[in-house]
């Protein structure tokens, strides 16, 4: 959903991180508006995940600038802010959903504890409130409320991924990063998961930047697409425009390779 009258919440300017020549990502620039869903697509090794890690503060960049405007309209420069502020941003206004749930969840802590962690981290001190909110979020991501005390290790892959979503959304972030969120899921679970994700994104007006190599996922979820190849963005634009009328040779190859 685009709100063109507003200022972008995230401004990425000439961001680069190279491991070797054309390995990593370089000279990436784009803007992201509130509530907008941006997909990063491209083949393995094209730099998608590197870019996501740079943007979410998990990796230091070689150069460039990432500007973020928070809820109170304060401007932050991601690479220049103190690490404490960066981490605070990551557990309040931002969220990160990992490809492997074990990277994003505490597997030996109950589902409720996982969801409640971010609340406790921002100073919530009332057990009853934390638990109530955890149970509400279990329902929002279509997990049975009576499994709130079960550990994620007893959940299926799809359930773990939904729990990760709940864990991130509980503090009502404005921007969520997702790395191959449907990577480990089978097709039917993937479809349900995407439905849920689309509903939550629209309901909560949360902006999302996600990485995928699956153009089907990209078409379902993304408002806008960034196509990467050999560490560079080769094409960007509205999802329909890119998928129906690809301009760059690589994008044309990518689109034509979808199995129909």
By CB under 8 A, residue 192 contacts another protein: no
By CB under 8 A, residue 126 contacts another protein: yes
By CB under 8 A, residue 42 contacts another protein: no
Looking at beta carbons only, is 96 or 130 nearer to another protein?
130
Q: Tell me, by CB under 8 A, how many residues bind another protein.
A: 23
By CB under 8 A, residue 131 contacts another protein: yes
DSSP letter string over 198-254? HHHHHHHT-EEEEEES-HHHHHHH-SEEEEEETTEEEEEEEHHHHHHS--SHHHHHH
In whole angstroms, the minimum distance from the beta carbon of 170 to another protein comes to 12
By CB under 8 A, residue 109 contacts another protein: yes
By CB under 8 A, residue 147 contacts another protein: no
Which x/- pattern, by CB under 8 A, does the window 212-251 give for another protein? ----------------------------------------
Nearest-CA neighbor of 16 among 47, 37, 44, 57?
A: 47
By CB under 8 A, residue 60 contacts another protein: no
By CB under 8 A, residue 121 contacts another protein: yes
In whole angstroms, the minimum distance from the beta carbon of 113 to another protein comes to 5
DSSP letter string over 65-118? EEEEE-TT--EEETTTS-HHHHHHHHHHTEEEE-SSHHHHS-TTS-HHHHHHHH
Give Cα 211 distance to the centre of its chain.
8
Q: CB-based burial of residue 75 (10 Å sphere; 0-12 exposed, 13-18 middle, 19+ buried)?
A: exposed
By CB under 8 A, residue 132 contacts another protein: no
In whole angstroms, the minimum distance from the beta carbon of 201 to another protein comes to 26
| Contact pick of 113, 158, 181, 246 for another protein (by CB under 8 A) | 113
CA distances 183 to 69, 144, 203, 251, Å, are: 30, 23, 24, 21
- Tell which positions 64-103 bind another protein, by CB under 8 A: 83-84, 87
Looking at beta carbons only, is 36 or 133 nearer to another protein?
133
Give Cα 31 distance to the centre of its chain.
15
Query: Distance (Å, rounded) from C-alpha 19 to C-alpha 30?
Result: 22
**Binding interface with another protein (CB under 8 A):** 83-84, 87, 106, 109-110, 112-113, 116-118, 120-123, 125-128, 130-131, 148-149
């Amino acid at each position: 959903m685009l709100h063109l009258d507003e200022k972008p919440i995230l401004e990425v300017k000439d961001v680069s991180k190279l491991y070797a020549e054309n390995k990593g990502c370089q000279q990436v620039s784009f803007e992201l508006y509130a509530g907008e869903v941006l997909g990063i697509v491209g083949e393995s090794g094209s730099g998608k995940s590197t870019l996501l890690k740079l943007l979410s503060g998990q990796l230091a960049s070689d150069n460039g600038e990432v500007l973020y405007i928070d809820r109170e309209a304060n401007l932050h420069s991601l690479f220049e802010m103190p690490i404490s502020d960066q981490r605070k941003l990551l557990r309040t206004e931002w969220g990160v959903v990992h490809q492997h749930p074990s990277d994003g969840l505490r597997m030996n802590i109950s589902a409720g504890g996982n969801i409640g962690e971010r609340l406790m981290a921002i100073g919530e001190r009332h057990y009853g409130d934390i638990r109530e909110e955890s149970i509400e979020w279990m329902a929002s991501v279509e997990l049975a409320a009576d499994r709130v005390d079960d550990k994620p290790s007893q959940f299926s892959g799809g359930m773990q991924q939904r729990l990760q979503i709940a864990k991130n959304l509980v503090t009502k972030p404005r921007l969520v990063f997702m790395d191959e969120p449907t990577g480990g899921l089978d097709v039917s679970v993937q479809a349900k998961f995407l439905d849920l994700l689309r509903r939550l994104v629209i309901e909560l007006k949360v902006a999302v930047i996600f990485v995928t190599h699956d153009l089907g996922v990209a078409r379902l979820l993304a408002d806008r697409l960034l196509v990467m190849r050999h560490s560079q963005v080769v094409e960007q634009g509205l999802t329909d425009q890119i998928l129906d009328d690809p301009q760059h040779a690589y994008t044309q190859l990518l689109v034509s390779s979808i199995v129909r």
